[in-house]
Structure 1
Amino acid sequence: MDNLMKAEWFKLKKDRSLWTLIIILTAVSLSYPLLIVFDDGADSIKVMDFYQNTILQGNNYVIRLVPCILAGFFISSEYSIGTMKTIAASGNSRFRLYFAKLIIYSIGAVLISLIFPVIFTGAVSVVLNFNGMPEFGYFIGTIGLTILYAIAFASMMALFATIFTDSGKAIGFMLIFFIIFDSVLYLLSSVSPIFEVIFNYSVFKLFLDIVNYDTVHSAEMVKLIAVPVITFTALGILGSILFYKKEIK
Structure 2
Amino acid sequence: MINLLRAELFKLSRNKVFWTLTLIVTVVFALLHYLITVGWWKMSTPFTDAGLEIFSSLALATTPFYFMLYLSTLAGFFVANDFTIGVVKNIVMSGNYRRHIFAAKLIILSLGSVFLAVVCPLLIIIGGKLLFGFGSITDPSSLGYLARSMGLFLLHLLALTALLMLIALLAEDSGKTIIISVVIAVLSSIAEVLRPLPGVLETIYQYTIFHHLIDSFRFGMPIVDGVRSLSVGLGSMVILACCGSLVFKRKEMK
Answer whether TM exceeds 0.5 for this pair: yes
In structure 2, what residue type is equivalent to 1:202?
T
Counterpart in the other structure of 1:20? 20
Secondary structure of the residue aligned to 1:243 is helix
Judged with a 3 Å threshold, the aligned counterparts in structure 2 of structure 1 residues 88 and 120 are, in CA distance, closer, same or farther, namely same
CA RMSD of superposed structures (Å)? 2.9
Counterpart in the other structure of 1:238? 243
Cα distance, 1:122 vs. partner?
A: 2.6
- Choose the corresponding residue for 2:209, options 203, 207, 210: 203
In structure 1, what residue type is equivalent to 2:84?
S
Could you tell me whether the CA contact under 8 Å between 1:186 and 1:196 is conserved in 2? Answer: no
Judged with a 3 Å threshold, the aligned counterparts in structure 2 of structure 1 residues 41 and 206 are, in CA distance, closer, same or farther, namely closer
Return 5+ residue gaps in structure 2 as ranges: 43-47
| TM-score, structure 1 normalization | 0.85
Cα distance, 1:186 vs. partner?
A: 8.5
Secondary structure of the residue aligned to 2:162 is helix
Could you tell me whether the CA contact under 8 Å between 2:53 and 2:135 is conserved in 1? Answer: no
Cα distance, 1:129 vs. partner?
A: 5.2
Could you tell me whether the CA contact under 8 Å between 1:37 and 1:127 is conserved in 2? Answer: no
Could you tell me whether the CA contact under 8 Å between 1:26 and 1:119 is conserved in 2? Answer: no
- Choose the corresponding residue for 2:109, options 98, 101, 105: 105
Return 5+ residue gaps in structure 1 as ranges: none
Cα distance, 1:123 vs. partner?
A: 5.2
Residues 117-169 of structure 1: per-residue CA shift (max 9 Å, x gap) = 41343356445452536632222222222221211110110000001111122
In structure 1, what residue type is equivalent to 2:240?
L
Judged with a 3 Å threshold, the aligned counterparts in structure 2 of structure 1 residues 71 and 227 are, in CA distance, closer, same or farther, namely same
Counterpart in the other structure of 2:173? 166
Cα distance, 1:178 vs. partner?
A: 1.9
- Choose the corresponding residue for 1:151, options 155, 158, 179: 158
Secondary structure of the residue aligned to 2:110 is helix
Could you tell me whether the CA contact under 8 Å between 1:29 and 1:123 is conserved in 2? Answer: no
Counterpart in the other structure of 2:227? 222
Q: How many residues align?
A: 244
Judged with a 3 Å threshold, the aligned counterparts in structure 2 of structure 1 residues 38 and 116 are, in CA distance, closer, same or farther, namely same
Secondary structure of the residue aligned to 2:252 is coil
Could you tell me whether the CA contact under 8 Å between 1:110 and 1:147 is conserved in 2? Answer: yes
In structure 1, what residue type is equivalent to 2:205?
F
Determine the C-alpha separation between the residues in 2 that align with 1:167 and 1:86. Answer: 19
Could you tell me whether the CA contact under 8 Å between 1:29 and 1:115 is conserved in 2? Answer: no
Determine the C-alpha separation between the residues in 2 that align with 1:41 and 1:56. Answer: 13
Cα distance, 1:13 vs. partner?
A: 1.4
Identify the range of structure 1 (65-74 vs 168-177) with the bigger mean alpha-carbon deviation: 168-177
In structure 1, what residue type is equivalent to 2:253?
I
In structure 2, what residue type is equivalent to 1:7?
A
User: Does residue 74 of structure 1 match 2:78?
Assistant: yes
Give aligned-pair identity as a percent: 28
Determine the C-alpha separation between the residues in 2 that align with 1:127 and 1:96. Answer: 46
In structure 2, what residue type is equivalent to 1:210?
S
Secondary structure of the residue aligned to 2:52 is helix
Counterpart in the other structure of 1:8? 8
Identify the range of structure 1 (202-211 vs 77-86) with the bigger mean alpha-carbon deviation: 202-211
| TM-score, structure 2 normalization | 0.83
Secondary structure of the residue aligned to 2:126 is helix
In structure 1, what residue type is equivalent to 2:20?
T
Determine the C-alpha separation between the residues in 2 that align with 1:129 and 1:230. Answer: 36
Counterpart in the other structure of 1:56? 59
Judged with a 3 Å threshold, the aligned counterparts in structure 2 of structure 1 residues 168 and 127 are, in CA distance, closer, same or farther, namely same
Judged with a 3 Å threshold, the aligned counterparts in structure 2 of structure 1 residues 57 and 87 are, in CA distance, closer, same or farther, namely same
Judged with a 3 Å threshold, the aligned counterparts in structure 2 of structure 1 residues 163 and 34 are, in CA distance, closer, same or farther, namely same
Identify the range of structure 1 (233-242 vs 142-151) with the bigger mean alpha-carbon deviation: 142-151
Counterpart in the other structure of 2:253? 248
